[in-house]
Each structure stands twice: as structure tokens, then as C-alpha cells.
């Protein structure tokens, strides 16, 4: 039997970013990677989160958790100031069948302890297939902001705005109109990627010498 767990808020944050394209089944769920990374993408936007080492128990191999509205709803509200964890129980490592519980617990260790308060249970299967190599499309962040004028779909921006720290985010475009833009969420544990719908750099535009841009997290780079 294998059990792994992570904060319910991470599933709640990732859920809006999954794909509902029936032809792209592997991105129709949330990736929980063996390195403690959680990723969701719909092909237009991407959210990646790096879990604190003390705040989760990772699976021995990457797994893709299906997107279930009921599970998302169970992860949303905190009750009486108690935090929630998603606990995945996989009795047979050769099978994709799992039981997913949402529990009230103070720590990851408490979430896995016998007697943890279970407030939601889902019996389902992990998604089949290999998740896309998402690190390969993470754009490089320039040292300075460029004097360019990209446009982004407000629906996609709203998804990031809902999970950004203090509701404030920064979209940092690349210099290549074919490249994705980096979305800074004001959080050390998460960042986003978004594709522009229109991109133009005025002729002769120079680099903006404003505030320094945030550094790309080391865990976001392809190994």
C-alpha cells in the first residue's frame, strides 16, 4: 500500500488550469510529481507549484490525479481555521485504482495518521499516460522588462488572479512572439505560463530600466 498527501489548497489552485479537451487526456488532470511538484495545464495556461518538503509526501513515481468537481469543492473551504490535505491511498501499485480523501489536519504527518478527520472520499482511478514535459516550454525571464505590448485573454488572466498573492500578478513577456510569457504570482511556491493572443514590439523599442524582474525558480528549469 502507498499513501501520499499534499495540501488541499494546491488541488484547489490547480483545478481551473486543467484541460477539458477529450483528445488530450493526460492534461485532463493534475500532475503530482515524485519531486514534489504539482502542475496543471490546458495548453493555453500552465500553473506549476513546488511543495514544501515538510508539507507533503510525494509518490514514488509521477501520478496524474483526475479533475473532479466534487473533489475541487471539498478542497475549497477551510473549516474552523483547520487546514485540509488531500490523501491518496493506492493499495496496489500495479493498479491505477485509488481512494482519495480530503482530511482536516495540521500537518502532512497528521493527515496520514490513523484517526484523521475525513470530510470527503472519492474512489477513482489515476489517469493513464505520461504528462507532457512541461519544463521544456517554461520561457526564459529577461533581465529587464521589454517595451512591448502583448495582449492576453482576460479569462486566462482571471484564473491566475484568483491564486496570486494579494490578488496581484505580473505577466513578463518574452522577446519572441511565438514564445509563452511568464506569470509571476508573488509566491515562492508557484508560477504560471500563458500564451499571448497578440504580440507587438514597437520598432526601435529599448529595454525598460524599471524594477528588476523576479528570477525564474531553479525547480522550474529543465534538468
Structure confidence by residue, pLDDT tens digits, 18-35: 999 999 999 999 999 999
Which CA distances in Å does 182 have to 138, 166, 174, 213? 7, 18, 8, 11
Shared domain check, 152 and 88? no
C-beta separation of 55 from 6 below 8 A: yes
Domain around 25:
2-125
Shared domain check, 19 and 106? yes
* Cα–Cα distance, 2 to 112 (Å, whole number): 11
Shared domain check, 80 and 10? yes
Question: What pLDDT does 217 receive?
Answer: 84
Structure confidence by residue, pLDDT tens digits, 109-124: 999 999 899 999 999 9
Shared domain check, 118 and 13? yes
Q: Provide the mean pLDDT of the chain.
A: 86
Shared domain check, 110 and 84? yes
Shared domain check, 206 and 158? yes
Question: What pLDDT does 215 receive?
Answer: 73
Say if pTM beats, i.e. exceeds, 0.85: no
Is 48 domain-assigned?
yes
Is 131 domain-assigned?
no
Shared domain check, 190 and 143? yes
Shared domain check, 149 and 61? no
* Band of residue 208 on the pLDDT scale cut at 50, 70, 90: very low
Looking at mean pLDDT, say which of 43-57, 155-169, 172-186, 197-211 comes out highest.
43-57
* Cα–Cα distance, 30 to 7 (Å, whole number): 13
Lowest pLDDT segment from 45-54, 134-143, 196-205: 196-205
- Smallest CA-to-CA distance from 101 within 114, 92, 93, 190 is with 114
Shared domain check, 92 and 150? no
Is 221 domain-assigned?
no
Is 20 domain-assigned?
yes
* End position of a domain, from candidates 102, 125, 148: 125
Shared domain check, 64 and 34? yes
Question: What pLDDT does 148 receive?
Answer: 54
* Band of residue 176 on the pLDDT scale cut at 50, 70, 90: low
Shared domain check, 83 and 15? yes
Question: What pLDDT does 134 receive?
Answer: 94
Is 222 domain-assigned?
no
Number of domains in the chain: 2
Cβ count near 12 (within 10 Å): 20
Lowest pLDDT segment from 8-12, 21-25, 26-30, 65-69: 21-25
Amino acid at each position: 500500500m502507498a499513501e501520499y498527501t499534499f495540501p488541499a489548497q494546491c488541488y484547489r489552485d490547480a483545478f481551473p488550469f486543467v484541460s477539458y479537451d477529450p483528445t488530450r487526456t493526460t492534461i485532463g488532470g493534475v500532475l503530482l510529481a515524485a519531486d514534489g511538484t504539482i502542475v496543471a495545464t490546458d495548453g493555453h495556461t500552465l500553473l506549476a507549484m513546488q511543495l514544501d518538503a515538510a508539507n507533503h509526501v510525494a509518490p514514488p513515481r509521477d501520478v496524474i490525479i483526475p479533475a473532479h468537481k466534487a473533489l475541487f469543492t471539498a478542497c475549497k473551504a477551510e473549516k474552523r481555521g483547520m487546514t485540509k490535505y488531500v490523501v491518496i491511498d493506492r493499495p496496489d501499485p500495479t493498479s491505477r485504482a485509488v481512494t482519495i480523501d480530503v482530511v482536516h489536519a495540521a500537518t502532512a504527518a497528521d493527515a496520514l495518521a490513523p484517526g484523521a478527520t475525513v470530510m470527503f472520499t472519492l474512489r477513482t482511478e489515476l489517469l493513464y499516460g505520461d504528462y507532457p514535459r512541461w519544463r521544456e516550454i517554461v520561457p526564459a525571464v529577461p533581465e529587464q522588462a521589454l517595451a512591448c505590448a502583448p495582449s492576453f485573454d482576460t479569462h486566462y488572466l482571471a484564473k491566475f488572479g484568483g491564486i496570486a498573492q494579494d490578488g496581484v500578478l505580473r505577466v513578463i513577456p518574452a522577446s519572441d512572439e511565438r514564445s509563452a510569457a511568464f506569470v509571476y504570482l508573488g509566491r515562492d511556491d508557484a508560477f504560471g505560463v500563458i500564451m499571448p493572443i497578440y504580440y507587438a514590439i514597437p520598432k526601435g523599442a529599448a529595454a525598460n530600466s524599471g524594477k528588476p524582474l523576479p528570477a525564474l525558480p531553479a525547480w522550474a528549469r529543465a534538468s
